[in-house]
Structure 1
Amino acid sequence: MERDEQMDEARHGTFRPLARHIPLAVIAAAAIIGFFTLGDLLSFETLRAHRETLIAFRDANFTGLALAFIGIYVVIVAFSLPGAAVASVTGGFLFGLALGTLFNVLAASIGAIAIFLAARWGLGRVLAERIETSEGTLKKIKAGLHENEVSVLFLMRLVPVVPFFVANLLPALVGVRFVNFALTTVLGIIPGALVFTWIGVGLGEVFDRGESPDLSLLWEPQVIGPILGLCVLAALPILIKHMKGRKNA
């Protein structure tokens, strides 16, 4: 009897570490499947084809559509599915600039936090422990990150070339503080959300002309300029610490 209990404890002890990786494994599998199957479904052409239905449903049941939109957007982000840009533009198309931006930021933040927690609970926990017990360059990099955590996380959100899923996963894998991740996510995605929502506000006229929305607007000087300015402000504390360190050396 005692031996059976010991075997059960051993099995449970082996299962628990493996179970921590299940959420991230599910996300990875969904992302791969979604990449190959949902690219054509979550598109501007799909939105063009169903825009009248969506507008009619919004006018008849605004709250229901808002909740459905937020829920779908959360799933897109949490499972790293294609269509996040389309969803952001749709938010502006259906709900206007103010509410559209609010819904986009809320949904993207919830989805980002979900994938962060899934990664941190499993693989991130293992990597963070290994980095903590390691010596040399890797541990120095982690220490430097924690000293400038908020600035680095803001930069990852603000710099347009950093993929959104990378900015969700990487912080979890190196053990950043959850509060800092959540705060910089919510605030850091606001500029990009405003741009995409703004594009969506005029989407009806674009469809009426038989055109597709031009997402290259993000790279226009009047748009990218302020975002880059925010990047400089986020990087400023890091530069100041670096300069002080050199003077004290």
Structure 2
Amino acid sequence: MLEIFHWIENLGYWGGLAFLFVYIVATIAFIPGSVLTLGGGAIFGVLWGSIYVFIGATLGAIAAFLIGRYFARDWIGKKIEGNQKFMAIDQAVAQSGFKIVLLTRLSPIFPFSLLNYVFGLTNVGLKDYAIASIGMLPATVMYVYIGSLAGDLARIGSDTPPLDPPLQWTMRIVGLVATIAVTIYVTRLANKAIAELNIK
């Protein structure tokens, strides 16, 4: 994975597009996106890293959704056969598709990669599914933030001296703590809402 990150970093302006492509392929291939998200933060920083990761994850999720809906229904159906959690999701989606997709995006208790395909088997519309992907933002920003800090720390040991004064580092750490706190709070709210819908 480090080789891929170095390759992307050396592409200059094309690095963002290459990162998007890698993220989309990884999402379709069930490769956990956490490492890529951290890498996005290390390479592009918080702002652009969050943008690239969110776009890549959303496009990858839409691609997996369409594959699950039109090309791999039987295979996905067999993988989730008898799973009570996914059966409950299917029933809940029938009543409120957008809300369920949004809540499961906010909650880390559902496997992101498989869930993309599973939603393709439900009645949720593509538009609602795509818009509800905004639920990925809190966790995305948190992981990108962590990756950005890790990248900056790694550069401290390089020949190039760090550009950030202590005050800026303090602000970054405070920002990270605040981001983590917000993410945890939003996750708890989502988990509570999901529990009330009897999706366990």
Q: Which residue number corresponds to residue 91 of structure 1?
A: 40
Q: Distance in 2 between matches of 1:71 and 1:170?
A: 22
**2: CA distance between counterparts of 1:238 and 1:94?**
39
SS of 1:81's equivalent? coil
2:24 to 68, 74, 90: 74
TM-score calculated relative to the size of structure 1 = 0.56
Change in 2 beyond 3 A, CA 1:126/1:175: farther
**Superposition deviation, residue 238 in structure 1:** 6.1
Percent identity of equivalent pairs: 24
Distance 1:183 1:155 in 2: 12
Q: Which runs of 5 or more structure 2 residues have no equivalent in the other structure?
A: 78-86, 158-175
C-alpha deviations, 1:147-199, integer Å up to 9, x for none? 221111111111112111132022112232111111112x1111111011101
The 1:230/1:103 distance shift into structure 2, 3 A limit, reads: farther
CA contact (8 A) 1:96 1:201 kept: yes
Instruction: Describe the shift of the 1:85–1:124 C-alpha distance in structure 2 as closer, same or farther (beyond 3 A).
Output: same
What CA distance in whole angstroms lies between the structure 2 residues aligned with 1:145 and 1:99? 33
**Is residue 49 of structure 2 the alignment partner of residue 100 of structure 1?**
yes
Structure 1 Cα separation of the partners of residues 110 and 194 of structure 2: 15
Q: 1:173 to 1:205 in 2, by over 3 A?
A: same
- Gap runs ≥5 in structure 1: 1-41, 129-138, 211-216, 240-249
SS at match of 1:181: helix
In the superposition, the TM-score normalised over structure 2's length comes to: 0.69
Partner of 2:71: helix, strand, or coil?
helix
**Aligned counterpart, 1:227:** 186
Whether the aligned pair in 1 keeps the contact of 2:93 and 2:123 (CA below 8 Å) is: no
Q: Is the 8 A contact 1:152 1:234 kept in 2?
A: no
* Paired positions, count: 170
Q: Given the alignment of the two structures, is residue 176 of structure 1 paired with residue 124 of structure 2, yes or no?
A: yes
Instruction: Report the structure number with the largest CA radius of gyration.
Output: 1
**Which runs of at least 4 in structure 1 moved beyond 4 Å after TM superposition?**
125-128, 139-144, 232-239
* Residues 92 and 201 in structure 1, CA contact (< 8 A), matched pair in contact too: yes
Match for residue 84 of structure 2? Answer: none
* 1:110 CA drift (Å): 0.6
Instruction: Determine the C-alpha separation between the residues in 2 that align with 1:95 and 1:70.
Output: 12
RMSD: 3.6
